[in-house]
Structure 1
Amino acid sequence: MLKVLTELKYLFKRFVIIANAAPAVLGFFIALRYHDAYFTDYWLDFILLVVGALMIVGGALTLNNWLEADVDRLMERTKNRPTVTGTIPMPIILLIGIVLSFVGEVLLWLINWEVALYGFIGWFTYVVVYTMWTKRRFTWNTHIGSISGAVTPMMGWAVIDSTFHVIPISIFIIMFLWQMPHTYAIAIRKQEDYTNSGLQMLPVVKGKRVTIRRNAIYIALLLFVPLMVRGYSSLFYILITILNVAWFIIALAGFKATNIKKWANILFASSLAYLLLMYTLYVVFA
């Protein structure tokens, strides 16, 4: 039993599945607080959201593993996945991915069509457009992958209200821009792996200096996102601006860094802290 759980941990990329499903939960609570709604009115929808999000994300990640088994065996960080070790037969992995994706989408549909739509957009962009069409061909594959991650908080908001609202749209933009520096930091830290795999990651194809410049641009754009948000207190704008400026300073430090990999480690850690603090501000001040 323990061995099976270990294999599933590698198959579902345990931290990745949580990191992708959690924004849906946070989006739900931001909407709940903003609209002064009661959790007791949405408890069933919340359960469907959590289970549905975990299943559809898990399905997408499983299909990603199935599709990338050939390159995963070339990278140190992915060599323990069951698609590489063969501990779970490939047809079973494909079946798991399809079933989880389908059931997850059905559960989201039971909430409402808008939640299901964002679930499908996230799944399709990650599995088809990102994994199948762009990741092996173009350096801008990261932008496609960022779309799939950016729609997850909109799933949570859509449980309560339509996402045609400035707050979920602003969170979508933040999530989209955030994922580029976050992913590029990983690509710099694991550049040897990506070089061996042949995947078209920006640091591998264009070099680290180009990646550092791109990081600075994307994080600089985050400075303007609070300008579109309405209805929050002045303290929210002050704190989120401080947060954006602090991360921008870390990005600028890359231009002077003598040890680029060490700087990438700092950028990666700060990206996680940034995301946690950003969501905290949105929830607290909603």
Structure 2
Amino acid sequence: MYQFAITGLYQQVLGGEKLNQIEKTGELTSSRFTVRDFTELVKIGIVNSNTITAFTGMWLAFQLNGISFIQNVDVIFFTIVGSALIVAASGAFNNVIDRDIDGIMERTKNRPTMTGKISGKRALMVALVLGVVGTIMLFMTTWQAGVLGVIGVFLYVVVYSLYAKRKLVSNTVIGSFSGAVPPLIGWFAVEPSFSIVPIMLFLVMFCWQPPHFYAIAIKRKEEYAAAGIPMLPVVKGIERTKKSMFFWVILLTVLPFFMFDLGLVYVILATLLNIGWLALSIYGFKMDDSIKWAKWMFVYSLNYMTILFVAMVVISIFL
């Protein structure tokens, strides 16, 4: 697996014969490397959302275990910054790996690795630096948090980006494992032992991702098909994808009842959010405009995650 990862990254840095030839002529390499280019390279939206979940895991570990927040400022700093850096590294690695398909898809064709503002080699160097620094910072909290960080990056970069995304129709589910790691990192940086809360945080993030990303896949079905990516709507069709999204939302409806540690208010709020999402999922079977419905599902999923994790933080203050 290690040799496969190194070989795969090397091939993607070259970006195929065409991209490699362009780099040699200087058409793809630019000295202009702006802040905006950097934020697009690391996928800042994903960095922000994953940092929020890592912070939530850390915050709940402090609150539910009676550990002083003020006296652990160093842990807070290393956890938040370290988590952000490894997620940023993963995003940059993904941009390097996907250079051969990004130009085919409308939503990715303007990434800096495609427009020529950042070369594949430079992007890889940025990813390596961010990954190493972020990992070191996580290990400065607890070794468990550091190991989880390494596992998360490996799952996303090697298992998902290099292999599953391109080969398996189950790619979204496989990718969900890495996306569910940040809240575990946050928890284990403070309290390096398992309990029901971190397990539920992991499961919430794991079950949330398939309906979220399937909504994108439905909207971009033709682009994924053109790029040869075996997303569920491409391989099995939109109706089959709707059933899968419904299944994952059903699983989410069960999880709040295992989180009474956060109080009845949280359980009620999470249940109401789940009922709303479930109703929207069911409506998709009757709605003819699947693209419009997928947009609704996507927007709901973003609001769902934001409200849920902010609520966890706020409600835990009053426990």
The TM-score with structure 2 as length reference comes to: 0.86
1:124 to 154, 158, 164: 154
Task: After TM superposition, list the pairs within 5 Å mapping 1:1-286 onto structure 2.
Answer: 4-286=34-316
The CA deviation at 1:3 is: 5.6
| C-alpha distance in 2 between matches for 1:226 and 1:25 | 19
| C-alpha distance in 1 between matches for 2:69 and 2:267 | 27
SS of 2:167's partner is coil
What one-letter code is carried by the residue in structure 2 that aligns with 1:143?
A: V
| C-alpha distance in 2 between matches for 1:147 and 1:30 | 21
Q: Is the 8 A contact 1:125 1:147 kept in 2?
A: yes
Q: Is the 8 A contact 1:62 1:93 kept in 2?
A: yes
Q: Is the 8 A contact 2:260 2:267 kept in 1?
A: no
Structure 2 alignment gaps of length 5 or more: 1-30
- Cα-Cα RMSD: 1.5
| C-alpha distance in 1 between matches for 2:171 and 2:193 | 25
Structure 1 alignment gaps of length 5 or more: none
- Which shifted more, 258-267 or 21-30? 21-30
Distance 1:65 1:172, change over 3 A: same
| C-alpha distance in 1 between matches for 2:144 and 2:115 | 39
| C-alpha distance in 1 between matches for 2:129 and 2:269 | 43
Q: Is the 8 A contact 1:154 1:163 kept in 2?
A: no
- Which shifted more, 240-249 or 172-181? 240-249
Aligned-residue identity in percent: 36
The CA deviation at 1:186 is: 0.8
Q: Is the 8 A contact 1:187 1:203 kept in 2?
A: yes
SS of 1:224's partner is helix
| C-alpha distance in 2 between matches for 1:130 and 1:225 | 26
The CA deviation at 1:184 is: 0.3
| C-alpha distance in 2 between matches for 1:163 and 1:204 | 41
Distance 1:21 1:234, change over 3 A: closer
Distance 1:43 1:223, change over 3 A: same
| C-alpha distance in 2 between matches for 1:88 and 1:95 | 11
The CA deviation at 1:194 is: 1.1
The CA deviation at 1:227 is: 2.7
**CA-to-aligned-CA distance 1:97-135 (integer Å, 9 cap, x gap):** 111111111111111111111111110110000001111
Distance 1:284 1:4, change over 3 A: closer
Q: Is the 8 A contact 1:33 1:283 kept in 2?
A: no
The TM-score with structure 1 as length reference comes to: 0.95
What one-letter code is carried by the residue in structure 1 that aligns with 2:44?
A: R
SS of 2:208's partner is helix
Distance 1:163 1:277, change over 3 A: farther
Distance 1:236 1:7, change over 3 A: closer
**CA-to-aligned-CA distance 1:27-46 (integer Å, 9 cap, x gap):** 11122222232222111111
Distance 1:20 1:235, change over 3 A: closer
Aligned residue pairs total 286
